[in-house]
């Protein structure tokens, strides 16, 4: 299990690096969008390439940050139901969810995206819009996002098993988002 935990920490480090780096893509997308709008209004010049660049940047940030979001335990879940269970049951729900839902979906997407990206790359597929960008980099970003998500899924499965076996502490102990306020802790009723 120690070897698997080392492997898990390596995946987590890569995911964190990528997740923090792609945050800058949002800023770049905003700057491209603002610059494109200013040029279009001020000089009556427009470019499909700049519009598509915005989509690529935002899509890249979204897809490449999905694994980081999983690592931070920030994906959406039904807290009203999940929060009613003990932490052990929550770990089982997470483990089964990763194994039965996340990994099959991610692996299926990778299976279909590999030929999709290769075909686009080999054909030099371009945008259907005049003056648009080549398409394969956007498709490759989809594939890269799902590859990262698959790796992070493996890391999460390893960590859940290690936590449940007592081989590691829970790095993200669950705290319900909508927990009732504790009056003894100084919380105000109705706050």
Q: What are the pLDDT digits (tens) for 23-71?
A: 898 899 899 888 888 888 888 887 788 888 888 888 899 899 999 998 8
- Interval 114-125 mean pLDDT: 91
User: Based on the number of CB atoms within 10 Å of its own CB, is 149 exposed (0-12), middle (13-18) or buried (19 or more)?
Assistant: buried
Is residue 80 predicted with pLDDT exceeding 90? no
Confidence category of residue 22, pLDDT binned at 50, 70, 90: very high
What is the average pLDDT across 64-80?
Answer: 82
Task: Of 145, 156, 9, 7, give the one whose Cα is nearest residue 70.
Answer: 156
pLDDT beyond 50 at 191: no
- The C-alpha torsion from 49 through 54 and 59 to 60, rounded to 10°, is 90
Q: What mean pLDDT do residues 99-127 have? A: 93
Separation of alpha carbons 106 and 163, rounded Å: 23
List phi, psi (to 5°) of 124.
65, 35
Residue that has been written with the tokens 């692996």 in this structure: 107
Ramachandran category for residue 131: left, alpha or beta (phi over 0 → left; psi -120 to 50 → alpha): left
Summarised one tens digit per residue, pLDDT across range 132-187 is 788 888 899 999 999 999 999 999 999 999 998 888 888 777 555 555 555 555 55
> Which pLDDT value is given to residue 145?
95
User: Is residue 63 within 8 Å of 145, Cβ to Cβ?
Assistant: yes
- 147, 152, 158, 161: CA torsion to nearest 10: -120
State the DSSP H helix or E strand holding residue 140, giving kind and residue range, or none if neither.
helix 136-165
Do the Cβ atoms of 109 and 146 come closer than 8 Å? Answer: yes
Q: Is the dihedral of CA 144, 146, 150, 156 positive or negative?
A: positive
Q: What is the pLDDT of residue 44?
A: 83
Please name which of 81, 70, 53 lies closest in space to residue 19, comparing C-alpha atoms.
70
Q: Alpha-carbon dihedral of residues 147, 152, 154, 159, nearest 10 degrees?
A: 180
How high is the pLDDT of residue 176? 56
């Amino acid at each position: 299990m120690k070897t698997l935990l080392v492997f898990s920490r390596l995946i987590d480090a890569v995911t964190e690096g990528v997740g923090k780096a792609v945050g800058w893509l949002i800023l770049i997308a905003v700057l491209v969008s603002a610059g494109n709008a200013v040029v279009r209004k001020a000089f009556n010049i427009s470019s499909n390439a700049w519009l598509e660049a915005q989509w690529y940047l935002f899509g890249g940030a979204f897809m490449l940050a999905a694994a980081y979001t999983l690592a931070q335990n920030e994906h959406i879940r039904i807290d009203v139901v999940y929060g009613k269970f003990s932490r052990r049951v929550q770990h089982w729900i997470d483990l089964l969810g990763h194994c039965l839902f996340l990994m099959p979906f991610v692996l299926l997407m990778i299976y279909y995206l590999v030929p999709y990206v290769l075909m686009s790359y080999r054909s030099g597929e371009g945008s259907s819009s005049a003056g648009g960008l080549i398409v394969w980099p956007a498709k490759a970003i989809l594939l890269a996002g799902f590859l990262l998500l698959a790796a992070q899924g493996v890391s999460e499965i390893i960590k859940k098993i290690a936590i449940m076996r007592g081989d590691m502490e829970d790095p993200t102990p669950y705290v319900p988002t909508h927990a009732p306020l504790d009056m003894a802790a100084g919380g105000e009723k109705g706050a």
